[in-house]
Amino acid sequence: MFKILRDMLRYNVEFAIGFVLTLSIFLFALAHFWAPLPDTAIYLLPPDMPPSAQYWFGTTSRGQDVLWQMSSAIWNTMLFGLTVTVLSRLLAVAVGMLSGYLGGRWDQALMTLNDTMIALPNIPILLLVYFVMRDSMSWPVLAATAALLGWNYDARLIRSVTLSLRNREFTRHAVFAGMSVPQILVRQHLPYVMPVIFFTAMNNLIWAIGLEVTLSVLGFSDINRPTIGGMIYWANQHQAIIAGIWWWIAFPIIAIVLLFLGLFLLAISVNEYIDPRSRLSRMGA
């Protein structure tokens, strides 16, 4: 594993850039544990200070340090994204592998359900869930809802990989050796499905973070818990653009775009590493 990482860093520029970007943003987010003030405290600092030596990214109209707010916000946003990704991977792997392995009617039924879920518009349903839950809404509930809506594309992908494994020699051997279906799936097939899971996880993480930003920008999350979208929400509430407090909006946007870029570069370079066909085109170059 370490050797693969080293080779990727050395020979794949996209991976190296993505890795460095994501790692530095992660370290920046980690720093919020050493923040001088609690991230929910407001009006403790002079408001609307432009970037200076004392407040590198300025302060908000609510008297918060933009730098430390961002550190907490990225942490919370990433935490939300990772929760969604892990939960939805569990669903995608379970449905995809079962569907691919069982085949026949089960496969048909599961994939019909899957395609039905894909055709449902996510955002209106999420908004409806938020609307009816309102005050009892917390970020883990929102993450669970998002996870329930975000597994179906990848279940299809995982299914097609499992489908091809089903007819391979070693599967038949495992069946003859008396292994149960869960045993075959976990011990024999999971290692082959792992790269697909990893690749889809990167894309799902990007999607989930985007979702969090979108919902909290609209104020549809716990608005007192700092997140990237939440910062933009408060900036909009205080008309930061019209008031000329540009740093309140610009720095969160730059941070989130850099994070997306880093994750995206990681996703495509990992995909290239996994997919032999794109590897071939690189060799030919």
Partner 1 sequence: MLNTLQAPTTTDSVLRVEGLKAYYQMNYFGVRREVRAVDDVSLTINRNEIYGIAGESSSGKSSLIKTIAGAITPPLRVVEGSVKFDFGGRALDVYADPQAMKAARWQNLSYIMQGSMNVLNPVRRVKHAFHDFAFKHMGISQSAFRSRVEQHLHRIGLDPRVLESFPHQLSGGMRQRLTIALATVCEPDFIIADEPTTALDVLVQQDVLALIKDIQQRMGASIIFVTHDMTVHAAIADRIGIVYAGRLVEEGPTLDVFRRPQHPYTAHLISSLPRIGDNKKRSALPGKPPNLADPPSGCRFHPRCPLAVDKCRSENPPLVVRQTGRVACWRAGEVQAA
Partner 2 sequence: MDGFAKYLGRRLFQFFLVIFLGVSLAFLITNLSPVDPVEQSVALMTNFGATDPRSVELMRQALQELYGLQGSMLDQYLAFWGRVIRGDFGPSLSAFPTPVMSLIMSALPWTIGLLTLSLVITWTLGNLLGALAGYYRSNLLLKFSGAAVMALHPVPAYIIGLCLLLAFGFIWPILPISGGAQMNLQPGLTLDYLRSLIVHGTLPALTLVLVGLGSWFISMRSLVSNIVTDDHVVYAELGGVSSNTIFSQYVARNALLPQLTGLALSLGNVFGGAVITEFLFNYPGVGRLMIQGIYRGDYALVLGVTTISIIAVAVAVFIIDLIYPLIDPRVRLS
Binding mask 175-214 for partner 2 (x = CB under 8 A): -------------------------------x---xx-xx
For residue 59, which phi and psi values (nearest 5 degrees)?
-125, 160
* Residues in contact with partner 1, shown as a per-residue x/- string from 7 to 36 under the rule CB under 8 A: xx-xxx------------------------
Cα separation of 163 and 154, whole Å? 14
Sequence-separated (6 or more) residues with CB below 8 Å from residue 33: none
DSSP calls for 245-279: -HHHHHHHHHHHHHHHHHHHHHHHHHHHHH-HHHH
CB of 250 to partner 2, least distance (A): 9
Q: Which of residues 247-266 bind partner 2 (CB under 8 A)?
A: 249, 253, 256-257, 260-261, 263-264
Q: Which is nearer to partner 1, 9 or 128 (CB)?
A: 9
Q: Which residues contact 167 (CB under 8 A, 6 or more apart)?
A: none
Which pair of tokens denotes residue 96?
Answer: 């995809």
Q: Nearest distance from residue 12's CB to partner 1, in Å?
A: 8
Nearer to partner 1, 11 or 131 (CB): 11
What are 216's two structure tokens? 């909290």
- Asked if residues 97 and 193 have their Cβ atoms less than 8 Å apart, the reply is yes
**Which residues face 65 on adjacent strands?**
59
Question: With CB under 8 A as the contact rule, which of the stretches 126-134, 153-161, 202-210, 277-285 interacts with partner 1?
Answer: 277-285
Over the window 122 to 151, marking each residue x when it contacts partner 2 by CB under 8 A and - when it does not, the resulting string is: xxxx-xxxxxxxxxx---------------
Interface segment toward partner 2; rule CB under 8 A; list 1-9, 45-53, 160-168, 277-285 = 277-285
Residue type, 115: D
| For the chain, the helix, strand and coil percentages under 3-state DSSP, each to the nearest 5 | 80, 0, 20
- Interface residues with partner 1 (CB under 8 A) are 7-8, 10-12, 279-280, 282-285
Q: Where does this chain bind partner 2 (CB under 8 A)?
A: 112, 115-116, 118-125, 127-136, 153, 206, 210-211, 213-214, 217-218, 220, 229, 232, 241, 249, 253, 256-257, 260-261, 263-264, 268, 277-278, 281
